[in-house]
Structure 1
Amino acid sequence: MWLCLLTLAMAYNYFAIPLRSTFTIYDLPGSVGRTTWLCLDYLSDVIYVLDIFIKMRVRFVNQGILEKDPKACRKHYIGKADFKLDLAALVPLDLLYFAIGIVPIVRFPRLLKLQAFWELFDMLDKMAKNGHVIRIVRTILYMIFIIHVEACIFYQVSKWEGLGSNTWVYDPESNVTAYVYCFYFATSLATNIGDNPPPTNYIEYLFMTCYWLSGIFVFALLIGQIGEIVQAANANKTNYRSTMDITTWYMRSLNVPEYMLDKVRTWFDYNWEQQKTLGKLQKFALRLCRTCYSGQWGNCACSLIRKSYLSYLKSSDENSLLEGLPRKLKTDLAISVHFTILSKVSLFQDCERALLSDLILKLKPVLYLPGDYICRKGEVGMEMYIIMNGQVEVVGGPNNSIVFQGSVFGEISLMSLSGGNRRTADVRSKGFATLFTLSKADFEEAMQDYPQAYALLKKRAKKTLTKGKATKTEKRIVQTEEVIKEREPTPKLLKTVIQAVSKEKPKSCLSSFMRSKSKRQTDDTDVKPSSSTANQKLSCSPQEVAEKLRASQTSATAKPAESQQKAHQAKNLTGEEKQPLSGSISPEKD
């Protein structure tokens, strides 16, 4: 209540000071009007003084605690800038009346009390059911005050040029009072309505230009406030329609089945009919619709920018969309989008549908720009990735390749296996890519309700990891065999010669010959062996060497013949005569 009274005193000063300073005909000396003005002036001053004492007792919050101590309240108010403005508004320049006479313009410090007007309308805005109406009233008051000041300035300019000196200035002989005519003239200039007299000199041109600019500014604010009121009146219905449109577009971009789209529409319609609100989806609709329909990318020349921007919207607002839906509908919608991809992962094959549903609800979208690294080689893996849109390339690993939409990688890192948590290659986005991630923490939280399935998945992951290591080992062995080729087998004749020579004692001819030859090469003396000694060492003739070769060949072929004969004898226990072996070779025949 006190704030309203203080605002009324402030409004009086804002109206009276410009009026009395220019329209002196309403403040003539000795008239009843002057006495009334002076009484109102000092009444407003008394209200200003009382306001200072009242504000010294206003409580405030100090570090979260409501301060009630009068001394602390007074000290807090004196330390604020409001106290300094309140003191400046009470500067007693009225004492100049005794020197220069009653000149109302010296009371201009009283205009510093504008803070009271703002505080009042801020409070009304918070308390009112429809705050837009309060804002429009405040804007209208701003416009009226500007027109009031312009009317006073117009009358003062008319006095400077001479009242009735031309068709543009105010004519005192007209039937309309001075203030009414000037206020009408200022209003017509501000709104550009009516047939106004043309200016005749530079001062008049400058005056009208300033009027038009101020009028455009004020009326733009007024029209904007009225538009907000109309929009607020239909806000819920507009949000409902916008949310329906953007949700339909979004689900079609995800290739959601038509029956699922119908279920979402049905839920929207029923929720709107019952509650006339969309709850959490209102925020989603306002944010997304402002972005999509404000024309931010409507005129883009590059379709790639538009496509990537839409991909960003889809990845950043899917969680907001799912949060507003019921759990059953949210689960069905998520399953229809991701179930097919997740069920194709080798680690999650043959898992129950409830487990996959819980994992799907844990997926979070992430957008990667061209060239961004999704994971680096050697780092500890904490997520599994599903490619929703775009392409990624694997670099620096055993298999460099490009992975397309619908692929999954990094699932082994969810199992916390020794040796399976490190990334084996760098993976980076080839263009704009939207990936869904499943973190290890979310995976373990979901697996708490499925201990048997968790043990099975861990066993399957170990098997996959072991198989991958064995495959890498085989590849390394194959590469080694290709570099080091297998030696060709020794010819049979040479092998037979080597076997025959190896059975002889060191005194054999061939070994003696080789030893004597090496001894001759290393002998430091110049004495040459006699011919008789050499003939002794080479005592074996070529005929003897041939006989020894035939003997060794005969013994080599006789052994398999004897084994065949023993086997044949064991089978024929009836006492039949032994048949000669066909594979035996007689020395005489050779």
Structure 2
Amino acid sequence: MIIKPRYSKFDTAWRILVILTVLVQATLLPLDFLFELRFQRWYDMLDLVITVIYLLDFGENMHRYKRIQKHAVYKDIYWDTYSSGKFFISDVLAILPYAFLFSHPAFQFLRMFKWVKVLRTMHFFQIRNIRNTTRSSLWFLLIGTFLVAHWFSCIWLRIHGFEADISHLDNYIKALYYIVTTLTSVGYGDIVPNGNAEMLFNILLQLTGVGLIAFLVGSVVGLFTKRNPAEQRFTENMEKLRALIHYHDIPSELEKRISDYFTYEWKQKLGYDESELMESLPFGLKNDLQLEFKNRTIKHISIFEGVDEKFVREIALYLTPIVLTPGDYLFRTGDVANSMFFVKKGKISVLTEDEKQELTILKSGDFMGEIALFKKSNRTATVKSIGYSDIYELHKKEFEKVIKKYPDIALRIKEKSISREQRYI
């Protein structure tokens, strides 16, 4: 039985709905202490809706947990379940309709146990949705900062009291202003605490502000200074080039070519070396990832159109990537031929031996040097890169291992190589 609880659209939408529900309740709960919202019908109805959502979420979590426990794979890798007792207990404590059971609003704080769900869901999104990790972390920081300021503002109003000559909204905004200026340590002294309770609260507020600002600054700086692997590798390569220039007398032309290559690698190839990641993967995943990298290139090659998927998978394992910079020679006329090449990206010029005549230009999806796969020979043409070119190389030894299983494809390549050989001779 195959299930996909981690990646379904329903699962994602439901998690977001639960997070929004918790945020609404976390916003209204301190307001209930100030204005006794629990005695208003709309608040009772909203509390009932929240209870229903929490109850449905509890049922969904139980159902997901039972399905995953029966699955041979997911039970070992899916951590966001009731396999941890604290998740189960926190959900149970958050379900009870405290507004109906108890008149005192203090019991409503037990609803906040649902924040365990929010925190693990945010962690879940950061792990499973790597592309948007920075964005989701930033939103989480902003929402968390607002709730901290909101709760402290409500507590301050509870201690300090309302000013009778202004509205409740004005009182709240004034309290929010005081809390923010105190948390950020830029208080102007226009609002001062009176009495022991307010001064003790102010001390707590200032101590909290020190930690909060340090946490926010560190988190935001970490988010915006965190470079993607491509940019990080580009910067490291440029630093190594500067060090090389410092200790060795390198011609400026060669320096420029190296710098241009690093820039090309960063802009066009993403500048990320996947070899280290490849080595960390087991054999099956490594093959699948290599196939994903090379699948499109192989299928766009004319002689491989409509071939068996197994052939594509096997041939992909033996394709070696090569990058040619502008003016680089892939091979020259007379060189020993022991491999063929596939153009992934770029333009390749096929020239005569004296390089005075251009025979053809090879582009993405074209191939060359296939004659070497069928007979011992030397190169019959000179091949030179016009700009930056990404190509794959297939050695004769590896080709023979695969092609024995596919004689029809071998015949197709051989016929193509004969016609091309006659054309270029």
User: Which of the residues 258, 264, 276 maps onto 2:249?
Assistant: 258
> What are the Cα deviations for residues 230-286 of structure 1, in whole angstroms up to 9, with x where unaligned?
324687556534432234426866xxx534997576334223235424333999xxx
User: Which of the residues 128, 132, 135 maps onto 1:133?
Assistant: 135
3-state SS of paired residue (1:57): helix
3-state SS of paired residue (2:146): helix
> Which piece of structure 1 moves more, 206-215 or 139-148?
206-215
Separation in structure 2 between the aligned mates of residue 38 and residue 199 of structure 1, nearest angstrom: 35
Is it true that 1:149 corresponds to 2:157 in the alignment? no
Match runs of 1:332-411 below 5 Å: none
Alignment partner, residue 180 of structure 2: 187
Structure 1 residues 82 and 241: alpha-carbon distance in aligned structure 2, compared to 1, 3 A threshold: closer
Is it true that 1:51 corresponds to 2:51 in the alignment? no
> What are the Cα deviations for residues 401-421 of structure 1, in whole angstroms up to 9, with x where unaligned?
xxxxxxxxxxxxxxxxxxxxx
Is it true that 1:65 corresponds to 2:73 in the alignment? yes
Alignment partner, residue 173 of structure 1: 165
> What are the Cα deviations for residues 284-341 of structure 1, in whole angstroms up to 9, with x where unaligned?
xxxxxxxxxxxxxxxxxxxxxxxxxxxxxxxxxxxxxxxxx98999xxxxxxxxxxxx
Separation in structure 2 between the aligned mates of residue 245 and residue 282 of structure 1, nearest angstrom: 21
Alpha carbons 1:139, 1:221 under 8 Å: kept:
no
Alpha carbons 1:243, 1:281 under 8 Å: kept:
no
> What are the Cα deviations for residues 510-530 of structure 1, in whole angstroms up to 9, with x where unaligned?
xxxxxxxxxxxxxxxxxxxxx
3-state SS of paired residue (1:182): helix
Alignment partner, residue 279 of structure 1: 272
Separation in structure 1 between the aligned mates of residue 228 and residue 85 of structure 2, nearest angstrom: 42
Structure 1 residues 278 and 132: alpha-carbon distance in aligned structure 2, compared to 1, 3 A threshold: same
1:143 positional shift:
0.8
Structure 1 residues 137 and 91: alpha-carbon distance in aligned structure 2, compared to 1, 3 A threshold: same
3-state SS of paired residue (1:208): helix
Structure 1 residues 141 and 243: alpha-carbon distance in aligned structure 2, compared to 1, 3 A threshold: same
> What are the Cα deviations for residues 516-551 of structure 1, in whole angstroms up to 9, with x where unaligned?
xxxxxxxxxxxxxxxxxxxxxxxxxxxxxxxxxxxx
Structure 1 residues 124 and 266: alpha-carbon distance in aligned structure 2, compared to 1, 3 A threshold: same
Separation in structure 2 between the aligned mates of residue 281 and residue 128 of structure 1, nearest angstrom: 17
Alignment partner, residue 215 of structure 1: 209
* Matched residue type, 1:86: D
Separation in structure 1 between the aligned mates of residue 198 and residue 259 of structure 2, nearest angstrom: 61
Structure 1 residues 209 and 246: alpha-carbon distance in aligned structure 2, compared to 1, 3 A threshold: farther
Alignment partner, residue 13 of structure 1: 25
Relative CO higher for 1 or 2, CA cutoff 8 Å, sep ≥ 6? 2
Is it true that 1:104 corresponds to 2:105 in the alignment? yes
Which TM-score applies when normalising by structure 2?
Answer: 0.51
Alignment partner, residue 36 of structure 1: 42
Separation in structure 2 between the aligned mates of residue 140 and residue 210 of structure 1, nearest angstrom: 21
1:132 positional shift:
1.4
Separation in structure 1 between the aligned mates of residue 17 and residue 274 of structure 2, nearest angstrom: 44
Is it true that 1:267 corresponds to 2:258 in the alignment? yes
Separation in structure 1 between the aligned mates of residue 121 and residue 31 of structure 2, nearest angstrom: 24
Alpha carbons 2:141, 2:216 under 8 Å: kept:
yes
1:79 positional shift:
6.8
Alpha carbons 2:94, 2:110 under 8 Å: kept:
yes
Alignment partner, residue 88 of structure 1: 93
* Matched residue type, 1:267: I
Separation in structure 1 between the aligned mates of residue 249 and residue 69 of structure 2, nearest angstrom: 57
User: Which of the residues 234, 252, 262 maps onto 1:240?
Assistant: 234
Alpha carbons 1:19, 1:152 under 8 Å: kept:
yes
Is it true that 1:249 corresponds to 2:249 in the alignment? no
Separation in structure 2 between the aligned mates of residue 135 and residue 150 of structure 1, nearest angstrom: 23
> What are the Cα deviations for residues 329-371 of structure 1, in whole angstroms up to 9, with x where unaligned?
9xxxxxxxxxxxxxxxxxxxxxxxxxxxxxxxxxxxxxxxxxx
Q: Which runs of 5+ in 1 are unaligned?
A: 68-72, 164-169, 284-324, 330-590
Separation in structure 2 between the aligned mates of residue 84 and residue 273 of structure 1, nearest angstrom: 54
Alignment partner, residue 296 of structure 1: none
1:133 positional shift:
2.0
Separation in structure 1 between the aligned mates of residue 52 and residue 90 of structure 2, nearest angstrom: 16
Separation in structure 2 between the aligned mates of residue 137 and residue 326 of structure 1, nearest angstrom: 41
Is it true that 1:4 corresponds to 2:16 in the alignment? yes
Separation in structure 1 between the aligned mates of residue 167 and residue 56 of structure 2, nearest angstrom: 44
3-state SS of paired residue (2:163): coil
Is it true that 1:121 corresponds to 2:122 in the alignment? yes
Q: Which runs of 4+ in 1 moved over 6 A?
A: 325-329
Q: Which runs of 5+ in 2 are unaligned?
A: 1-12, 277-320, 326-425
Separation in structure 1 between the aligned mates of residue 148 and residue 51 of structure 2, nearest angstrom: 24
Separation in structure 2 between the aligned mates of residue 13 and residue 328 of structure 1, nearest angstrom: 60
Alpha carbons 2:229, 2:271 under 8 Å: kept:
no
* Matched residue type, 1:60: I
Is it true that 1:27 corresponds to 2:21 in the alignment? no
1:62 positional shift:
6.7
1:182 positional shift:
2.0
1:85 positional shift:
1.9
Percent identity, aligned pairs only, is 18
Q: Give the superposed CA RMSD.
A: 3.8
Which TM-score applies when normalising by structure 1?
Answer: 0.38
Separation in structure 1 between the aligned mates of residue 236 and residue 202 of structure 2, nearest angstrom: 45
Alpha carbons 2:58, 2:91 under 8 Å: kept:
yes
3-state SS of paired residue (1:197): coil
Alpha carbons 1:3, 1:120 under 8 Å: kept:
yes
Structure 1 residues 66 and 121: alpha-carbon distance in aligned structure 2, compared to 1, 3 A threshold: closer
Match runs of 1:413-492 below 5 Å: none
Alpha carbons 2:44, 2:99 under 8 Å: kept:
no
Separation in structure 2 between the aligned mates of residue 27 and residue 91 of structure 1, nearest angstrom: 18
Separation in structure 1 between the aligned mates of residue 206 and residue 19 of structure 2, nearest angstrom: 29
* Matched residue type, 1:38: D
Structure 1 residues 245 and 155: alpha-carbon distance in aligned structure 2, compared to 1, 3 A threshold: same
1:42 positional shift:
1.4
Separation in structure 1 between the aligned mates of residue 38 and residue 69 of structure 2, nearest angstrom: 50
Alpha carbons 2:32, 2:38 under 8 Å: kept:
no
Separation in structure 2 between the aligned mates of residue 234 and residue 66 of structure 1, nearest angstrom: 30
Separation in structure 1 between the aligned mates of residue 30 and residue 275 of structure 2, nearest angstrom: 48
Alpha carbons 2:178, 2:191 under 8 Å: kept:
no
> What are the Cα deviations for residues 436-490 of structure 1, in whole angstroms up to 9, with x where unaligned?
xxxxxxxxxxxxxxxxxxxxxxxxxxxxxxxxxxxxxxxxxxxxxxxxxxxxxxx
* Matched residue type, 1:87: V
Match runs of 1:191-202 below 5 Å: 191-193=184-186, 195=188, 196-202=190-196
1:105 positional shift:
1.9
Alpha carbons 2:231, 2:271 under 8 Å: kept:
no
Alpha carbons 2:153, 2:179 under 8 Å: kept:
yes
